[in-house]
Amino acid sequence: MLTHRSQIRVRYADTDQMRFAYYGKYFEYFEHARGDFLRSLGFPYSRLEEQGVWIPVIEAHAEYKQAARYDELLNIETRVHEKPTMKFRIEYKVYRDGVAEVLATGHTVHTFLNAETGKPTRPPSNFVSVFEQAIGRK
């Protein structure tokens, strides 16, 4: 299993009338954490795009346990259990900074598309290699 942690602060614009982080914002928090995660592996989105590959989200899920509020600092734990194949799944846990209790959990599933044709493609071998090496280290 490969794990990474990111932080994000709940902005005022992220909150709803009840002063809670709006539920849809959690998918943006997941995206922020996913970008940090891939960057930490030395493989940001831009590197995939340079290789002519997109990784769209084909499934997204979130479960809300507790509300986050304006100006709270959130820790997002990102996990991948297996190397990418034609699809790969990233799991997320959101915590209030300094508190072990989980605020939300979720996952996204991605596939690989050829950026030129928009058709499914295999993941780049160097991308898979990064995951194999990183998972092997853990």
- Which residues form the catalytic set? 16
Residue closest to 32 by CA, chosen among 81, 94, 88, 86: 94
* 3-state SS string for 91-104: EEEEEECCCCCEEE
Beta-carbon count within 10 A of 85 CB: 11
63: Cα separation from own chain's centroid: 15
